[in-house]
Homo-oligomer: A and B are copies of this chain.
């Protein structure tokens, strides 16, 4: 199967960017990953990802639940969390532990040392992958004799759009 083109939106894309492309990239990528792995991209899972992919903002689990309730019958919290767990396992959704929110990934990140930049005003999340930091962490870990399993890097602040507005 051909590789989908990388979502070419930059971190913090302009407010007037063609978000339809981002959205379809996110959804098609998930579908492709499911097909490759022979697992089911059920309507409920699609619905959760569709809601998240509607913007670059992160949403709380219960926000997602409310939006699902608008178009179909209200799911249970467990259903939402199950779909989120599935999508995170698939690698297309990330959880921001700083504010218990979830957002749709727009990068094919095979590394797991990423930076998430979260605008406190508009909620938009941008992803970067600094090679400097990706190198620094294993060095520190070696000094500490620490075996790294998971790295969380979240930077909160204000994005350009909100600062200039």
Name the distance in Å between A149's Cβ and chain B's nearest Cβ: 4
Given contacts A136-B133, A136-B136, contact A147 B128 (CB under 8 A): no
A163 touches B147 (CB 8 A): yes
* A122 interface residue (CB < 8 Å to B): no
What residues of B have a CB within 8 angstroms of the CB of A119 in the complex? 146
Is A34 at the interface (CB under 8 A from chain B)? no
A155 to B133, CA, bound (A): 13
Q: Is A156 within 8 A of B160, CB to CB? A: no
Residues 11-54 (chain A) with a chain B CB within 8 angstroms: 11-12
Task: Name which residue of chain B comes closest to A145, CB basis.
Answer: B160
> Within the assembled complex, what's the spacing in Å between the Cα atoms of A36 and B130?
40
- Chain B residue with Cβ nearest A137: B155
Closest B residue to A164 using CB positions = B145
Determine the chain B residues whose CB is within 8 A of the CB of A150 once the complex forms. 98, 155-157
Query: In the complex, what residue of chain B is closest to A115 when comparing beta carbons?
Result: B140
Using known A-B contacts A98-B97, A136-B133, A146-B12, determine if residue A141 contacts B163 with beta carbons closer than 8 Å: no
User: Cβ of A144 and Cβ of B12 under 8 Å apart?
Assistant: yes
Contacts A119-B146, A133-B133, A148-B156 aside, 19 further interface pairs with beta carbons under 8 A come to A11-B144, A12-B144, A97-B97, A120-B149, A126-B146, A130-B136, A132-B136, A133-B136, A133-B137, A145-B159, A145-B163, A146-B155, A146-B159, A146-B160, A148-B155, A151-B154, A151-B155, A152-B156, A153-B153
